[in-house]
Chains A and B, each alone.
Chain A
Amino acid sequence: MRRRDFLGGTAAALLGTGVLGSLGACGNSGPGGGEQLQLWALQDAEYQKVIRPAIDAYNSGAEDKIQLTTYVNDAYKQKLQVAMGSPQAPDIFFNWGGGNLAQFVKAGQVVDLTDRTADLSAAFLPSVLSVGQADGRQYALPMNGIQPVILYYHKAVFAAVGLQPPKTYDQLLAVVDALKARGVTPIALPGSQGWTELMYLEYLLDRVGGPDKFAAIAAGGAGAWSDPAVLRAATMCQELAKRGAFGANFASINYDNTGASKLFATGKAAMFLMGSWEYSTQLTNNPAFVKDGKLGWLPFPTVTDGAGDPTAVVGNPSNYYSVSAGSTHADTAVDFLKKTLTSESYLKGLIAAGQVPAVKGVETRLAGTPGADFTTFTYQLVAGASSFTQSWDQALPPSVGSELLTNLQKLFLAQLTPADFVATMGRAR
């Protein structure tokens, strides 16, 4: 599950600055012999407005200048992994924490920030901070908003069909059947990308078995995949697809070209399970849909006989910055992070970009900002959550993560039985 870029018209204008701006720079600057400190982040028009002023402000008074390079989401993980294995590693790099970070830590490529940023760490929400840790040490600091997965629904469609938004899983199934009968695709699912399907498995396992079930999987415990709760969650996923909850052609729908968002905004689909960033995506691409108050949101439905806590959430706790161990600018890098990440202007910038920063007591700052009803909902959802499970594809090692996304597609297409799915994942390494 990824933090999506904010696509759309405004982004096109920024292409110029992003690409042309870096054209003048010398190509071969890395931590080895580069003169500038390299900071890598994702291409995200809204986030640029936050990080660029921060970098400019820091550069104006510093000897070591920072240079920002941004990458598209899909390519970034690969670029980062490949670059970390090469001498051209960035000094500060964006990451998702979890298993992805852990492998860099294991390879001795990340600076231990525990002691150097202890005072800074105290400002963040502990559940979010913990995803940036490995073996009890802090290797990454939250640099973005919290991104729980939320069930969005189309208020106008629900009103027209005379339905109430589902609070329990049984209600969800009833709503699915009713919508299907009316010829509306119940839930938009961009199934050509496996991470969108993963959200269902994550929530269902949490609701059915609680967060410990996935914690066991992430820890690599033998037989963790063959837990009956995992099998049941996988079965529920497949039944949902077989029931027609996602229509017939979900496997050809794409999230990146906002195909699914469009289906949802135009009312061809009535619900959409997606990360909190979907709000901004809709605001950019289908502003009327949001402004007319047709976009509704809910926590994921509860499963009546499930062992999980109904307040638990899944998603991306945040995104993180880490410092390369090989960096010749490590001190500058740490200094920059300390001065920036909890600064007034940085937090304000994040909120203005529609984010909910992962710092304690941010609630008061949200009031009165645009979209406050949504951001406040997001904050309360996370602040009141008994647990915040990180997206599995980020929490697991990349090799298992990619296997998982492939097998999920097969599960949703009914090419794998739930039992085979669980067995196959048990063998993934």
Chain B
Amino acid sequence: MTTAVPALGRAPADRRRHGRPGALWAVPAGLFFTAFGLAPILVVAYLSLTRWNGLGDPVWTGLDNWRALRDDADLTHGIWTTLLLTALCWLVQTPLALLLGVWAAAPQRNRAVLSAAFFLPLLLSTAAIALAWQSLLDPNFGAAATLGPWLGAPDGNLIGDPDRALYVVALVIAWQFVPFHTLIYQAAVRQIPATLYEAAAIDGADRVRQFRSITLPLLRHTIIASSVLMIVGSLTYFETILLLTGGGPGTETRVLPLHMYIKGFVGFDMGYASTLSVLLVAVGTVLSVLIVRATGYHRMASDREGL
């Protein structure tokens, strides 16, 4: 389709094709993305068929690494942990962020002040947050000893207990990311026309009903976008976990990306780590398609250019 007619009734622009940018404009970005985004994916696929400890040259081993996936008990557990953590994060963050976002969107002054405080965690880097929480959760010198009894851990053992560690990680992640999602909801709620609520109020709908029949339906797309971001984000929680628990105790909080990192950069089995990477790339690609579908980026792309 070389003659992509822009759209109806825009003949002048079509005639003057010279006024349009050529493919050259996209080449720098394309090359850059190819070199550091696409090429690594090809390389990782190749490395997944080799044995390499980071020294010297990779040695071709065919499908050995792929066969080893089967025997990797930590992998199954890692996938399960990843799914569980993703679900947990969604369940904690979505209601919180939704309600806080709705609440913070209102114009009252006290809400504006409070919500300014809500966004403060956004100012800290992942490393800062993880390290601060780690010291906060230290059972000897941190606040865990003080707060533990309130949370059902009299000895302050929050982060070292296999049954609690994942929940604590989810809490820290929520602390870090709820502000971000609150922000998204707040912006979305502010775009809902006030007249809708006024009409509902006249009809005698109470707060709960207004929330259920106006706010929620109108936020549908935002909920989807925010949820997609959370699911995608679950692959990047990796840094927080690496710094906070290192995947422990045992492998209780070792999510799939962390498993790959430990295999590759602690055990230096970079061939096998690459095999895990290929899995991650596959998951990432599926999620990308999900984002594009859910947010309509692709649709926007075709709407106006008549693809």
Contacts and interface: CB of A to CB of B under 8 A. Distances in A.
A254 B266 contact: no
A219 interface: no
Given A78-B265, A262-B140, A251 B55 contact: no
Interface string A45-81: 0000000000000000000000000000000001001
A416 to B, nearest CB: 8
B266 A78 contact: yes
B228 interface: no
Given A403-B267, A415-B250, A251 B157 contact: yes
B121 interface: no
B155 A248 contact: yes
Contacts of B249: 191-192, 251-252, 409, 413
Interface residues of B, number: 38
Contacts of B263: 399, 402
Contacts of A262: 140
A410 B250 contact: yes
Interface stretch (B22-30, B159-167, B189-197): B159-167
A82 B141 CA distance: 35
Contacts of A223: none
Contacts of A424: 73
B56 A85 contact: yes
B139 A253 contact: yes
A103 B269 CA distance: 12
A399 B160 contact: no
Contacts of B155: 247-249
B53 interface: yes
Given A192-B160, A399-B268, A406-B74, A253 B55 contact: no
Contacts of A427: 71
A406 B73 contact: no
Q: What is the interface of chain B mostly: helix, strand, loop, or mixed?
A: loop
B262 interface: yes
B156 A398 contact: no
Interface of A is mostly: helix
B71 A252 contact: no
A104 interface: yes
A252 B267 contact: no
Given A82-B54, A402-B266, A259 B138 contact: yes
A262 B73 CA distance: 36
B158 interface: yes
Q: How large is the interface on A (under 10, 10 to 19, 20 to 34, 35 or more residues)?
A: 35 or more
A186 interface: no
B251 interface: yes
Nearest to A403: B267
Interface in A114-149: none
B160 A409 contact: no
A108 B56 CA distance: 8
Given A107-B55, A402-B266, A413-B250, A257 B160 contact: no
A93 interface: no
A167 B198 CA distance: 82
A109 interface: yes
Interface in B136-160: 137-141, 144, 155-160
A415 B268 CA distance: 25
A252 B250 contact: no
Interface in A217-264: 247-254, 257, 259, 262-263
Interface string A96-109: 00000001100111
B267 A104 contact: no
Contacts of A354: none
Given A248-B155, A249-B156, A257 B138 contact: yes
Contacts of A191: 160, 249
Given A253-B140, A399-B267, A413-B162, 13 more contacts: A81-B55, A103-B53, A104-B55, A109-B56, A192-B246, A247-B155, A249-B160, A251-B157, A257-B141, A263-B140, A403-B267, A409-B251, A429-B68
